[in-house]
Structure 1
């Protein structure tokens, strides 16, 4: 339950209002329907003014925050654009832990490191369920088996597979690093064809990220020009955008997902998931092929067969690996390419930072040694500080992925109702002036000591992938892709903004629950005739 302002209670059914508002956001082409919905909402909200106050139960500490239809809808509508910034402003009124709404349909907003650790780490068993609209939307087409959005026994099974693969450091140092290294030359070849001319890097980065995950999942890469691949990328981009659209996520009821309103969404989801399932079936047809034996699809078969051979039952079937793979494409490819876009945009405005990175990389490369640069990243504090600063300012999921409370409990001394959805305002924590000096300024040096050593304590405060057992399963993949790609690009190109064009606004984002920069053009120029060889950036091979 949540603390009640004096003007709210006995409110009209929030579900009705949410459903009506969702129709508005999803059918904006119909002016008549929009007008009708707005009139109905205004009538309901007018009735809400007559509500009275319900007594608070004795001995219960209630969350501060807005209640009643009028206050709640106002806040939810405010979240539909730049949700993290809007919620940041609400903390000035309610504090860094507050709630929106009441009962199982309520939302809990956390913008405090200690409270988030309590919820997602200390009380992970209570606050780590998945559910809500994201799961409902994806499962309108996808099966439950194999999903990273499952709970209970099904989730523990998937979690075990994730721990053995994409979260396993050995898997990262071999399969993931190899796949990234194999893909970077293709990326550079694409960029070489665009050298010295302004271009929009979004599509190139999208293809690159899909290529990396394609190799990890299926053991083979893609062609950037393949029409089927292009369609998959477009459909996946639409699915991610619509699933994480706050107007949908906050104001739509699950009962609407299978209605005609989401017909287009389900079509895109069905098409993009069909692509992944088809590629997985191709792998299953030739599991003994050397290039595919270490793919996620092949490894999932071995994992499930291993469970069954030990005499235990498995929730998933051996061929359900494609569902995990689709979840990872959904969660990672869109967000990682957005980080690369932000990195490109920020460093394009700072040639001095590019020079510092390049000198640092050259120094480490010229010092010899058999380790990859990623394994020597402790010797690259400037590169790491720049990545950290971009992830601080533009976290991949600024409001995190909602956690569902499995039973009534408490966080930071406040009662949290069963069924509540917890949102972590990661952007807010990354931009909290109580923690960060001048947080809106792009200043990678904030992570460096006076002697140029990375401040590991500050680095741990950057949590773009969340924390706890439900943190992003693809974090290791993302960190390797971001690091290896940035090092390769800085070693090969000078990045700048086109002269005579308006400078892109670094504070603008096109989305709310992910942070995508507005479209921009950039220039890549080769820095020398014989740059750092791409092969030198790969991991060493062992005989």
Structure 2
């Protein structure tokens, strides 16, 4: 019995010694894993969610001062890496583009992208490359470029319709023009995708716009399910998931009808619009793994969700800052008048180089209120080392674009609205300013960047050429905080609209 006890003790000691030796080998002969620093205050299950609150971009930017440009936050049960500031974001998305160009496996994002059938949230693989290459080529074919045959005339026509609509409303009663802006931008997308625009009161178009807006709103309210996807199985809690699915089904039902109509009437030799080009490409590809029937609806949905909400919201922020800074509105209008004279038509893209203050004002609008403060999440396809930190494959990586656009190192007094930031000493527009990424950067840069720039210039300059916006007499100045959903949206405000 004593011998057995002694043997047991020896065995325990032996195991202990072996374990110590093993740990020593790990320490000295194997590189230790280096995680990015993480803020204190992470709670079990929820992580840092309570600290992030309703304005996560602000808290993440605040934490940058203490934890640096690269740190980790706990989102529920998962670690998420946050990139802050121009240098870290550019280094990751441009210099390390091979490592950070894919998308993470997140339930809600998978749901709204057909589990990678679209372009925006598709994993970075050969199928993604083929889809993006086609879409970019198709958009250029349809006029997403400068010069003859561009989308310019379509956008100018829409600008005329918008100014006419506002003139019909008159200036007797203050009004909110959010819906009018949304319809105008949506019609530009419709002219590219469906080959036609819709009247402002068209029932089918209004229904599509209503459902699309609801889809965007539900995406914004589904953040909790993004972190805790298991909630979609919990009755009473999963209503946002159910509504999201219903909205997508309605949007896709409308799209399927349009696709069917196009199939019946298309001329392969003379494609009319984006749908015709998609169908022609599908036949050419002969249903390869890279381009399939299932891709068509999801790619079109991308154009609407990413193209309408973002541009319309940017215009809303622009008009908000014009009523808050009437002196800036007057400067833009004075420049427009000096270049265009008494001409009552809308500006052209050829005028852009002659309107530097107008262009700088649009750039300042995009800087001061990044409509997507946190860019869509990236992820490394394989284990990656970045700035000395180990980032496992599949980890969500959030580029905090807000931290770059509001960085006092590059933008002194960043909360002050000042278009002169984007003008050089000769009064010309600074074309490639540092720490300015309204469309993100790298391989996943916004596909419709060129179209968005055309829309913003032509619509914004047309509005200020023909209309003056101001707050009702005695009205309190509206907040510029915004509400964070899928985009950072300003509050709806009633403005006095007077014809010039």
- TM-score norm. by structure 1 comes to 0.78
Equivalent residue for 1:295? 273
Select 1:247's aligned residue among 217, 223, 230.
223
> What is the CA distance between 1:324 and its match in structure 2?
0.8
> Does the aligned pair in 2 maintain the 1:146–1:324 contact within 8 Å?
yes
Partner Cα distance (1:58, 1:246) in 2:
40
Residues 147-187 of structure 1: CA distance to partner in whole angstroms, max 9, x if unpaired? Answer: 44222122111111122133679643334323312322221
Partner Cα distance (1:489, 1:268) in 2:
32
Number of residue pairs the alignment of both structures matches: 463
Partner Cα distance (2:327, 2:40) in 1:
50
Select 1:98's aligned residue among 71, 75, 81.
71
After TM superposition, list the pairs within 5 Å mapping 1:311-460 onto structure 2: 313-317=288-292, 320-365=295-340, 373-458=348-433, 460=434
For structure 1, list consecutive stretches of 5 or more residues without a partner in the other structure.
1-54, 528-543
Calculate the aligned-residue CA RMSD, in Å.
3.1
| 2:443 aligned counterpart, secondary structure | coil
Distance 1:143 1:342, change over 3 A: same
Equivalent residue for 1:51? none
Partner Cα distance (2:227, 2:121) in 1:
21
Residues 371-417 of structure 1: CA distance to partner in whole angstroms, max 9, x if unpaired? Answer: 97324423221011111111001112110111122111022232111
Partner Cα distance (2:463, 2:119) in 1:
34
Residues 439-479 of structure 1: CA distance to partner in whole angstroms, max 9, x if unpaired? Answer: 01111112223432222343x53211100111111212211
Relative to structure 2, which stretch is displaced further, 183-192 or 104-113?
A: 104-113
Partner Cα distance (2:341, 2:277) in 1:
38
> Does the aligned pair in 2 maintain the 1:115–1:411 contact within 8 Å?
no
Partner Cα distance (2:224, 2:52) in 1:
11
For structure 2, list consecutive stretches of 5 or more residues without a partner in the other structure.
1-26
| 1:193 aligned counterpart, secondary structure | helix
Partner Cα distance (1:245, 1:398) in 2:
16
> Does the aligned pair in 2 maintain the 1:111–1:428 contact within 8 Å?
yes
Select 2:94's aligned residue among 93, 115, 121.
121
Equivalent residue for 1:305? 283
Within the alignment, does 1:149 sit opposite 2:125 as a pair? Answer: no
Equivalent residue for 1:523? 496
Distance 1:502 1:163, change over 3 A: same
> Does the aligned pair in 1 maintain the 2:144–2:450 contact within 8 Å?
no
Within the alignment, does 1:462 sit opposite 2:436 as a pair? Answer: yes
Distance 1:184 1:283, change over 3 A: farther
Residues 31-56 of structure 1: CA distance to partner in whole angstroms, max 9, x if unpaired? Answer: xxxxxxxxxxxxxxxxxxxxxxxx99
Distance 1:336 1:165, change over 3 A: same
Distance 1:289 1:354, change over 3 A: farther
Residues 124-160 of structure 1: CA distance to partner in whole angstroms, max 9, x if unpaired? Answer: 2221112324432315xx4754444222122111111
Partner Cα distance (2:52, 2:283) in 1:
45
Partner Cα distance (2:191, 2:264) in 1:
17
Partner Cα distance (2:452, 2:444) in 1:
16
Relative to structure 2, which stretch is displaced further, 70-79 or 484-493?
A: 70-79
| 1:410 aligned counterpart, secondary structure | strand
> What is the CA distance between 1:338 and its match in structure 2?
0.8
Residues 185-234 of structure 1: CA distance to partner in whole angstroms, max 9, x if unpaired? Answer: 22122211222131011111111111111111110111222333223222
Distance 1:428 1:102, change over 3 A: closer
Distance 1:79 1:296, change over 3 A: farther
> What is the CA distance between 1:59 and its match in structure 2?
4.1
> Does the aligned pair in 1 maintain the 2:352–2:359 contact within 8 Å?
yes
Equivalent residue for 2:46? 73
